[in-house]
A and B are shown apart, each in its own frame.
Chain A
């Protein structure tokens, strides 16, 4: 860590610039005032909130038990079955509403895991630099070079595929990606004099990372977390679609789409509605991410 600190501390010889003294950065207050006024954020948050409520209380919303089998299979949408029935005669609407809960458990849990690991790794590599940083970043590059799906296929086919496995898999693969973002935010902060002052006062390294630097990079971390959530939803749906993740008879959207594709010609509603649901969820999360990142940058 010695050499790295020196290299960055050296060119800080400042030229005087009284022009921008006294101006204070918007940093925190702007986020609080900008978000409620951002239509991007509000629309995204509304859709997301709908799906979260649905995932939590789908039992109150569904017209039928999602596993109940009706005698009429592959029935087109009608007054009785608003979105039709599937090949086994189950109500598509009920399965759609109940299917949100798996994706909204797996994706946030995986994201949280990736964020915790990534923030810790990013803080350590960005603050200490040196050998740790070099090694960790080469590993990140290696992970980035592998398509995620290939890693997933390898891991899930050998380890088996439960909800827990999917969470750990996505969480672990996200860790280096998050670490990279956090690291670059840390690099910008660690050269500011408040970090030098803390070091000169004898503050310990973990305390500088957690108490001094971390509060100042919350913005980029939150944005990264939201973006990761979108990817996690997408990835878990992909794995379900490849029948590598959540297994039957779960009403999970990715799985439903996968099973429904052979009936695409005769019963397109079996695929269309879960696909639309998935799309609205991913778009909603991305809108929230956009709104947040605009507010953080403002």
Chain B
């Protein structure tokens, strides 16, 4: 108790000399005459060789913390008076420019979110990596080259000699991030800062990079600061985790303990709002955190989370809680931290599935889409056929470049397929949107990934919805149109006041609600959802997914739900299609697709998804390499170059047949269902055993 009262929270038994110690760090940005506080009184320490995870949603100050540690803050940033950052015992905030230059890149290294833009596009990989050794270790050019090649081998790059000669754009995203990590570790730094290192990468590539970071941590004994919005990723890598909310540390503790038994309502809310295994839309809605993040620099007097907290009492709104110890090595900034367990999860309300014979709403037959790009012909979608029934959610998963968005754009009429046929309500669809009748247009609508760009920033929400109603719903005019807009807004839980605002004044979640309302303006029968929640913060994702489920049930629409997130698809979809390099490789009901036997690619996707459900094995199966950057698809089975279960010659030469499993799903592979199921169950057990023992 006393530790909290001093204002400077101290861990019960602090390790001798931490590599990094941050105490009472406050950072504000000058905005005109105003100061916006972005980070307030942040304290944490990272002992040598351990990893600290900083978790939080966008705008919570994570990146500002990283930039303060590198002393790379922009000119309008003001570091608070009492702030202290000590690096290996020396004061970092008062260090001179010369000292900083010696530290940066040498003793403190950083890996950024987007490796594509962090590497110099006009320099060979060799020159960039070698430069680190030349400037910091003073090596000769040839020694530096040799050291660079060794380092690339250490970050598990397959053919370092070849990679050295390439330019960054010739590497895949995963390889680029490996090169960045190689450069960061090149000088054997005391502190490695990783700022969302896997956020832009596909799940399979993310898994590889995380494997690498895990392995290198043991090898290099470097202190790691790992910044991410993804709890599951942090849980995997870090020993200690701090959760940031609106610039304040609200909970800190050992990763495993904290995620098992959180001691702050926000941490609990984040953990619960991610769709977990065994939960589907049939078993009830997801737990969601109401409201949205407080605007930057608003700095309410009480607990920043009070407005969204299910157990807030009047005191929470007026008084900022102290960080108090709540167990060994654990801190929480909540006055009701011992009552967290009493927060009830959302009730499970099992709903009966829609009965009756399924009616085919959309039939896609042999759809192919080719592009010409720079002399090459790229086949984005190759001979895809499937049906979507009325009132069902069809999930479409795959890595980026698998053709799922192109397929959606063909269905909605934004682009013409090169070959194949679309039948909607058993009527052939002429494919262009301009030639589509208004009746058809209003029946097939789309929700886009990024709500920031999907809404015209110059129009008010009311104007956007009124236009949609005017164009898509021909039945109402004049005053009735305004009523219809109000109804539509209410159906996606927008307040009447929101109609007067422009999109820029709304949070990401609210913007996506507007986009959803627009798609529903004219009683659609099919809505294509292209990654509708992946641009949103974790805490608002669940609410949007719940809204989509409610709308679907109320209006009997079908969704084609495109996502890279397997857990979201598992929660929402009735049937799932898995795409790889333009081809459908597996299709079936959700339960069937997510259980062995599945296509080795599905298996890899499932294994790669970072998950907080520790019990299930997920480590062993990794596809090799990367899907993109090949102009022509591989011969035989398209997945064979990366397939962990490749049989040999037959996979390379013969296109695999469709296999039908007992559960009713079909997949394209040379391995028969019974055999594949055995293999996959065996490897799941091998991994699960040591995990549970730990």
Contacts and interface: CB of A to CB of B under 8 A. Distances in A.
Interface stretch (B348-356, B502-510, B585-593, B686-694): B502-510
B537 A22 contact: yes
Contacts of B32: 33
Contacts of B57: 18, 22
A158 interface: no
Interface in B336-380: 371, 373, 380
B415 A6 contact: yes
Interface in B536-559: 536-538
With a 10 A CB-CB cut-off, give which of A6, A9, A18 has the most chain B CB atoms: A18
A22 B409 CA distance: 25
A253 B441 CA distance: 61
Interface stretch (A44-52, A97-105, A191-199, A268-276): A191-199
Contact of A212 (B403, B453, B456, B468): B456
Interface in A161-219: 192-194, 196-203, 212, 215-216
Contacts of A203: 467, 471
A197 B564 contact: no
A15 B405 contact: no
Contacts, number: 149
A13 B406 contact: yes
Interface string A1-41: 01001110110111111111111110110000100000000
A13 B562 CA distance: 11
Nearest to A207: B467
A75 to B, nearest CB: 54
Contact of A22 (B201, B380, B458, B507): B507
B537 A13 contact: no
A42 to B, nearest CB: 16
A13 B58 CA distance: 22
Interface residues of B, number: 66
A104 B408 CA distance: 54
A286 B262 CA distance: 59
A201 B432 CA distance: 13
Interface string B447-462: 0111011111111000
Interface string A123-166: 00000000000000000000000000000000000000000000
A9 B504 contact: no
A215 B457 CA distance: 9
B405 A13 contact: yes
Interface string B513-532: 00100100100000000110
A36 to B, nearest CB: 11
Given A15-B200, A24-B504, A203-B471, A194 B456 contact: yes
Nearest to A27: B457
A9 B59 CA distance: 30
B113 interface: yes
B433 A199 contact: yes
Contact of B413 (A19, A198, A200): A200
Given A13-B401, A13-B406, A193-B454, A201 B471 contact: yes
Contact of A197 (B229, B449, B518): B518
B293 interface: yes
Give chain B's interface secondary structure class.
loop
Contact of B467 (A2, A16, A192, A201): A201
Contacts of A23: 58-59
B196 A10 contact: no
A30 B371 CA distance: 40
A239 to B, nearest CB: 39
A7 B416 CA distance: 11
B414 interface: yes
Nearest to B401: A13
A14 B400 CA distance: 7
A20 B518 CA distance: 23
A14 B467 contact: no
A17 B536 CA distance: 8
Contacts of B459: 212, 215
Contacts of B534: 14, 16-18
B231 interface: no
B506 to A, nearest CB: 8
A145 to B, nearest CB: 27
A193 B61 CA distance: 29
B438 interface: yes
Contacts of B564: 15-16
A193 B113 contact: no
B322 interface: no
B472 A193 contact: no
B371 A7 contact: yes
Contacts of B400: 13-15
Contact of A199 (B414, B505, B521, B530): B414
With a 10 A CB-CB cut-off, give which of A17, A201, A202 has the most chain B CB atoms: A201
Contacts of B256: none
A23 B406 CA distance: 27
B65 interface: no
Contacts of B201: 15
B535 interface: yes
A18 B401 contact: no
B206 to A, nearest CB: 10
Given A14-B531, A33-B32, A202-B438, A194 B404 contact: no
A192 to B, nearest CB: 4
A9 B467 contact: no
Contacts of A16: 199-200, 449, 531, 534-535, 564-565
A15 B200 CA distance: 6
Contacts of A199: 414, 433
A33 to B, nearest CB: 7
B454 A197 contact: yes
Contact of A27 (B441, B449, B504): B504
Nearest to B202: A15
A290 B458 CA distance: 24
Contacts of B37: none
B441 A22 contact: no
A200 B446 contact: yes
A17 B415 contact: no
With a 10 A CB-CB cut-off, give which of A9, A14, A20, A196 has the most chain B CB atoms: A14
Contact of A9 (B202, B292, B401, B415): B415
Nearest to B509: A22
A262 B522 CA distance: 76
B529 to A, nearest CB: 13
B500 to A, nearest CB: 16
A20 B508 CA distance: 10
Contacts of B292: 22
A12 B400 CA distance: 10
A213 to B, nearest CB: 9
Nearest to A192: B453
B445 interface: yes
A200 B412 contact: yes
A19 B196 contact: yes
Contacts of B471: 201-203
Interface in B464-521: 467-468, 471-472, 503-505, 507-508, 515, 518, 521
6 residue pairs, one from A and one from B, having the closest CB atoms: A16-B534, A215-B458, A193-B454, A193-B448, A13-B405, A192-B453
30 contacts: A5-B414, A6-B415, A10-B415, A13-B400, A13-B401, A13-B405, A14-B534, A15-B200, A15-B564, A16-B534, A16-B564, A17-B199, A21-B537, A22-B59, A23-B59, A25-B457, A27-B457, A28-B457, A193-B454, A197-B515, A197-B518, A199-B414, A200-B412, A200-B414, A200-B441, A200-B446, A201-B468, A201-B521, A202-B441, A212-B456
Interface of B: 32, 57-59, 113, 196, 199-202, 229, 292-293, 371, 373, 380, 400-401, 403-406, 409, 412-416, 432-433, 438, 441, 445-446, 448-450, 452-459, 467-468, 471-472, 503-505, 507-508, 515, 518, 521, 530-531, 534-538, 564-565
Given A12-B405, A200-B445, 19 more contacts: A10-B409, A14-B534, A16-B565, A18-B199, A18-B534, A22-B292, A22-B507, A23-B59, A24-B452, A24-B503, A192-B453, A193-B453, A194-B455, A196-B414, A196-B454, A197-B455, A199-B433, A200-B433, A212-B456
